Chain A
Amino acid sequence: MAIANTLVPARDTRALLIKWIVGLLVPIAVFTFLWSGEAIINQSLLTILGLGGVSDIAVLIQITLFIVVFYATVIALAGYLVAADSGQRGMIELWIDIVFYVLLPLFLVISQGLIIGLALSAVLLLVYFFIRRRVYKALRITTAPPLQNLKVLDAEQQVGLKKRAIMGSFWFSVVLALVWLIADFIFYFSGQLPTTLLIWAVIRTLLLPVVGYFLGRLAGTIALRRTLAAKSNGNGENATDGAGKRIRRRQLEKLSTTRLQEEAKDLVPNDLPQRSSGATRFYLILLVAFVLFYPVIDPFLFGFGTNGRLAGYGDAGYYVILALGLNIVVGFAGLLDLGYVAFFAIGAYTWGIIGSTQLTNVLNSAPWDPHLLSALFWPMVIVAALVAALFGVLLGIPTLRLRGDYLAIVTLGFGEIVPIVFLELDQYTNGTNGIVGVHSPSFFGVNWSVVTPTPYYYLILALIAFTIFVNIRLRDSRLGRAWIAIREDEIAAASSGVNLVSTKLFAFATGAFFSGIAGAFHTAKLGLVSPDSFSFTDSIIFLAMVVIGGIGSIPGVIVGAILVYALNVFLPQQLAASATDPTSVFYSIQNGIVHFIPAFTFGNIRNLIFGILLVVIMIFRPEGLIPSARRRRELRAVDEEGVAVGALDVVPGAPGFEEEVRVE
């Protein structure tokens, strides 16, 4: 089949194009025209043209960067998805998926505000999963047969694939440009668009298809590199003789069916070949851009109250760090820890005591220079983490011989003892009053204040990035493999030469280390330490984050932490706030229930809601929201037939082997 050198889609590509362009265009249009995309762009354009708009130049740069990254990524994503589409999921299925993954959340967030919107869409998503699973089962829908990309692509096919990517991005931008143009004319004639901006409308309409063409080429290259090439190379080199090749082929086909079934359950609407790291990369770029520029675009998205929201996200951020740290102990090493809050408290008090006048009071010496104290925060984060890690080892030593729930109860006891010690040693810790007046950190001589949350937002982002990086590297390291070996079978691990003592102690220490970081951040952000924030309930909530997200899975744990924080802290706050507003529907609901139960307020049923959600999530997804691939395979191992679960795609010694056996 010769490949025509035009941008007109062939018949078989047309359906694909429609599928993805509609799928991606609808959410983008909702974001741009119903929500704030248009407003953000216009603001920055007006500033550039000198007609007012944003006053702060730094904010302007950030906004512009965000727009460029956001739209460019979406256009490239369109090309990539068209190229890498394997036909695994039909058009209608995909659109329904996009409605539930993107559109409904968007609408709910616009209409209900961020937190309630996200929480509602999470609930809807769960219901959707449940119904979809039932429907699939009832209709006996099975996933598609193995993909063609298991065989080596010849040069012509590769060119064809790239072509498809270019077409995807190009036509996506064309349609987007047209839609935008029509919308702008409507805005113009209804008087909502300044005349000067029409120039922009024209430039944009001309520019977008060109940009689309080049982004499509980029996406095509990524699709080839990331999606297909690695796989086919490994395959081509391994199979030398005919019979071996056939067996190998059959194995691969079986394995890929298993994989497909696994992937069909994925959260990401991936109509992608087995290795979808390319699309994940695009989604990641989108997410990172959004998170990085969030403080600037927040006012456009949600109006007033940016500071309050940012402060809230700072809290959610240290939950993420705590969950990732606990995941090392519970998820990787399989040691059930019910007293994780102890290390958090140790980290928090370490910076609390040093960073305030507490230490110098105790020592009866003159208070230190406040500037020095503020600058001291940075080394003290590490010190706090190390102190916590030291206590992790101290806890680890007596528990080495214990197994399972005996270990759990000892950690629980430790988690109870530590807060009591902090509470009762009041000459050092100020007892029930806690330590107030902890100095804010300073950065290059600039002092942060507790009332401006933006620096803390970026600080926690940096800390989270660090934590994720270390977590991934640890998981893939020799130590990480040793942890997982211990989790799976302690005796087998020991007889394979894993040093149980040091491996377990390292797990406790590393987990505690991150908890210490989170603790120091918590104190710095609040400017105080209170002994009330470290109870057994907190330990349990941290554990719930790990289990709900998917034990041992790094993305899962992050999602779990954010979800639990939203459900346990944000949602009750928002509900209680809207219940005081007489126009809100929650106000009348509250009044209705108070007739029957006098003690009822939304603040009072915080645990009730959280508890019900915990039970429901566990019943419908006992393996967590995003289980790690390894665990998924283990769970499926029972009802899988024909394929040995542990079978490798690549024989030992082959070039792809290292990558294949990497622990997930």
Chain B
Amino acid sequence: MTLFFQVLVVGLTTGAIYALIALGYTMVYGIIELINFAHGDIFMIGTFICISIFGLFGITNSSAAPTGLTLVGVLVITLLASMVLCAVLGIVIERVAYRPLRNAPRLAPLISAIGVSLILEDVGKLWKGITIVPFPQIFPQRFFYIGSVEFSSVDILVIVVAAVMMVALQWMVTRTRTGRAMRAVAQDREAAALMGVNVNRIISITFFIGAALAGAAALIWGLKYGNTNFTLGFTLGLFAFTAAVLGGIGNLVGAMLGGVLIGVIEALASLICDTTQKGCLIGLPHGGSAWHEAVIFVILILILVFRPSGLLGQQTPEKV
């Protein structure tokens, strides 16, 4: 049982990060029905931005980590800078690659998004090389125990940051004027435009917020896992997108739920035993970790078979 809860903690932390990225997918999808394949790569660029900003503060892998208020200052500045830079990147991408295709056939923006994703990947490759890039571990690691379940200070940081971001987003979308405009555009773009909503501006804001969340996710990912790579955006993006679909795409709470679920499923999958070892009768060859992607997708398919619009997605009646 301890093992189970231990795995649950791992799943929750990873899932919180997935959820942050998934929010970007789900917001963009909700508003312009586009699978923004470049979103994961914005996250990847975000991790590189964080490393570079640490570098500006003189923090590298070998240097001693700052303490006390300096640490808080550095983290807050990096978080804000990463969010703003990613958000700007998101807006630029929207302006250059998606806006000209607003009225094009449906698959055209999708291919354009794939193109942007490939571009960002190679930019990452040229920037930091193709090897795994270490991420300075400046947040002090302390371990806490509840019963015999262990969790670290970084886990708490991740969950707190993710939770704050989500609550802020939820508040923004449900309580502010901009949020209301966003929901209006998502529901009916033309009607919203007739009511005086500046649709292009709202779409830009959506990209801004989504990419900013990815920037935040980038920092906490780096602090938690200590490395990054130019392909990271692709892998994580895939999971995050899956999370968004799982929760019901276009639904913010769904994306959060989906992200956490995917994280937990991924962690639980590692408990499946290895049939090539002795003493394992029911399991998968080479153990569950090798199969975690497959497990995630099988569960996703099963869920979609029974709930075709995701867990919290609304079953929209087909218009005739």
Contacts and interface: CB of A to CB of B under 8 A. Distances in A.
A607 B297 contact: no
Name the residue in A414, A416, A622 with the highest tally of chain B Cβ atoms < 10 Å from its Cβ: A622
B116 interface: yes
Interface stretch (B66-74, B180-188, B219-227, B283-291): B283-291
Contacts of A488: none
Contacts of B109: 618
Interface stretch (B154-162, B199-207, B302-310): B302-310
A536 B297 CA distance: 13
B119 A618 contact: no
Categorize the interface residue count of chain B. 35 or more
Contacts of A608: 118-119, 122-123, 126
A239 to B, nearest CB: 37
A618 B304 contact: no
B281 interface: no
23 contacts: A406-B245, A406-B304, A413-B296, A413-B300, A417-B293, A417-B298, A420-B290, A424-B290, A540-B114, A547-B107, A547-B110, A599-B129, A599-B130, A611-B115, A612-B119, A614-B114, A615-B119, A618-B104, A618-B112, A619-B112, A622-B101, A622-B104, A623-B105
Given A607-B118, A608-B119, A612-B119, 4 more contacts: A406-B309, A417-B293, A544-B111, A611-B116
Nearest to B37: A540
B119 A611 contact: yes
B282 interface: no
Contacts of B29: 405
Contacts of A658: none
B201 to A, nearest CB: 21
Contacts of A543: 107, 110-111, 114
Contacts of B111: 543-544, 547-548, 614, 618
Contacts of A406: 245, 249, 304, 308-310
B121 interface: yes
Contact of A600 (B108, B126, B249): B126
Given A406-B309, A491-B318, A631 B122 contact: no
A608 B126 CA distance: 10
Nearest to B122: A608
A544 B111 CA distance: 6
Given A405-B29, A607-B118, A417 B112 contact: no
B100 interface: yes
B238 interface: yes
Given A398-B305, A406-B309, A410-B304, A416 B121 contact: no
A610 B119 CA distance: 8
A500 interface: no
B310 A635 contact: no
A502 interface: no
Interface string A249-279: 0000000000000000000000000000000
A414 B297 contact: yes
A478 interface: no
A180 to B, nearest CB: 47
Given A417-B298, A599-B126, A619 B245 contact: no
A330 B105 CA distance: 13
Q: What 10 A-B pairs are tightest by C-beta distance, nearest first? A: A614-B115, A413-B297, A611-B118, A622-B104, A611-B119, A608-B122, A622-B108, A607-B118, A615-B115, A611-B115
A425 B122 contact: no
Name the residue in A421, A540, A631 with the highest tally of chain B Cβ atoms < 10 Å from its Cβ: A540
A169 to B, nearest CB: 42
Name the residue in A490, A547, A613 with the highest tally of chain B Cβ atoms < 10 Å from its Cβ: A547
B14 interface: no
Contacts of A618: 101, 104, 108-109, 111-112, 115
Contacts of B112: 614-615, 618-619
Contacts of A615: 96-97, 112, 115-116, 119
A421 B294 contact: yes
A401 interface: yes
A405 B249 contact: yes
A183 interface: no
Contacts of A410: 300-301, 304
Nearest to B29: A405
A402 interface: yes
B320 interface: yes
A511 B29 CA distance: 27
Interface in B178-197: none
Interface string B248-282: 01000000000000000000000000000000000
B228 interface: no
B285 A612 contact: no
B274 to A, nearest CB: 10
B54 interface: no
A371 to B, nearest CB: 34
Interface of B: 29, 33, 35, 37, 96-97, 100-101, 104-105, 107-112, 114-123, 125-127, 129-130, 234, 238, 241-242, 245, 249, 284-286, 290-291, 293-294, 296-298, 300-301, 304-305, 308-310, 318, 320
Contacts of A551: 105, 107
A614 B284 CA distance: 40
Contacts of B100: 619
B308 to A, nearest CB: 5
A433 interface: no
Contacts of B130: 599, 604
Given A402-B304, A409-B242, A425-B285, A605 B126 contact: yes
Interface in A192-246: none
Contacts of B300: 409-410, 413
A610 B37 CA distance: 15
Contacts of A425: 285
Nearest to A431: B286
A610 B308 contact: no
A330 B106 CA distance: 12
Interface string A4-17: 00000000000000
A426 interface: yes
Contacts of A408: 35
A92 B177 CA distance: 58
A81 B84 CA distance: 60
A606 interface: yes
A86 B166 CA distance: 65
A599 B122 CA distance: 11
Contacts of A599: 125-127, 129-130
A388 interface: no
Nearest to A631: B105
B25 to A, nearest CB: 10
A133 interface: no
B305 A607 contact: no
A124 to B, nearest CB: 20
Interface in A581-634: 597, 599-600, 604-608, 610-615, 618-619, 622-623, 631
A636 interface: no
Nearest to A601: B126
B110 to A, nearest CB: 8
Contact of B301 (A413, A623, A631): A413
Contact of A610 (B118, B126, B304): B118
Contact of A604 (B104, B126, B291, B296): B126
Given A599-B129, A614-B111, A606 B122 contact: yes
A613 B293 contact: no
A526 B108 CA distance: 33
A607 B121 contact: yes
A416 B237 CA distance: 14
Contacts of B126: 597, 599-600, 604-605, 608
Nearest to A627: B105
Interface in A541-582: 543-544, 547-548, 551
A420 B293 contact: yes
A161 to B, nearest CB: 40
Contacts of B127: 599
B320 A604 contact: no
